[in-house]
Structure 1
Amino acid sequence: MKFLMTILAFMAIIFTAMGGLAVAPAAHIKGDPHNAACGRGPPPPPSPPPPTSTY
């Protein structure tokens, strides 16, 4: 059981690293049934936009 939780935590880290913070609030606003069932506190704040490289 602990192994499954470790995999879930690892997938959550990868999800946030791939820019999941920008997707989570949108799914929360659309009324995702999973987020509605969980309700673990407020959604995370939107991540700042990536810095634009000036050439």
Structure 2
Amino acid sequence: MFLVLAYTGIRRGEPVSLTWQDIDFKAHMIKIHKTYYNPNNNTKNYQLIVPKTKSPR
């Protein structure tokens, strides 16, 4: 996960919410559709929300 963060520039809540359907190994692409949001630091009360940037970079 640290390598993904370092080499892609995605935010730290985005790789946590990834599923296998978001990763395309043949095209070497990761699709970011959601991000982990937890403002109160409560592991049982979190949300998966749309990322800040709506268009791909």
Give the TM-score band, short-chain normalised.
under 0.3
TM-score of the two chains, using structure 2 as the length reference: 0.22
TM-score of the two chains, using structure 1 as the length reference: 0.22
The structure having more radius of gyration, on CA atoms, is 1
The structure with the largest strand share of the pair is: 2
The structure with the largest helix share of the pair is: 1
